[in-house]
A and B are shown apart, each in its own frame.
Chain A
Amino acid sequence: RKEVEQDPGPFNVPEGATVAFNCTYSNSASQSFFWYRQDCRKEPKLLMSVYSSGNEDGRFTAQLNRASQYISLLIRDSKLSDSATYLCVVKRRVGGSYIPTFGRGTSLIVHP
């Protein structure tokens, strides 16, 4: 079983829709959690960190459920520019370092 699992999609939604992605992780020792965004043929960039109490950044809301070992990303009022691949990232401690593991990504296509 892969350490970080995501539904690859694609999620195909109209502009203005609300869409949610989930990500599950298998290692209960995981320490920190993130969502990265990757545009086609570009490098990944940090979208937001995910905190235990949940956090919001504009139209984006991230949630963490440690008991069930999943994180989620909710996008409200989708824009065409939200079309991208969303990567779930989980860090766990290895020796004295925190090593990130990436999920395979979830593809979002927002259409007019």
Chain B
Amino acid sequence: NAGVTQTPKFQVLKTGQSMTLQCAQDMNHEYMSWYRQDPGMGLRLIHYSVGAGITDQGEVPNGYNVSRSTTEDFPLRLLSAAPSQTSVYFCASSLRDRGSTGELFFGEGSRLTVL
């Protein structure tokens, strides 16, 4: 059981470039989300989705786009990379019907550096 798979694990971009971080889960989870983690800042929610075709903004959505065309996939797009987007990005998913008690399962993270 693969769980939550993120690609790539490492990426270096130049300012202004665009890229997509991929996230896929094979647990039939309705809820999927993207976080960024910066030193001293903890995990901050970028965007989330409660099912195919539904997305919403989290705490720090600016500069990022998401889409949810299938239950399995939730890609995160950086439209025009900036050095402030240098971070570790985590994708996480959970069963929505567990309501408030659902465990979040995380991917292994994607380390992005923007020069």
A contact residues vs B (CB 8 Å cutoff): 8, 31-32, 36, 41-46, 49, 87, 89, 91, 93, 95-105
Cβ contact within 8 Å between A98 and B102: yes
Cβ contact within 8 Å between B42 and A43: no
Tell me how many residues of B have a C-beta within 8 Å of chain A: 24
Which B residue sits closest to A32, measured CB to CB?
Answer: B100
B interface, by DSSP: helix, strand, loop or mixed?
A: mixed
From B90, B100, B103, B109, residue with most partner A Cβ within 10 Å: B100
A interface, by DSSP: helix, strand, loop or mixed?
A: strand
On chain A, the residues within 8 Å of B53 by CB distance are: none
From A89, A93, A100, residue with most partner B Cβ within 10 Å: A100
B contact residues vs A (CB 8 Å cutoff): 31, 35, 40-45, 48, 50, 56, 58, 90, 96, 99-104, 106-109
CB proximity of B39 to chain A, nearest CB, Å:
10
Cβ contact within 8 Å between A99 and B40: no
With A31-B100, A99-B45, A99-B48 given, is the CB distance from A8 to B40 under 8 Å? yes
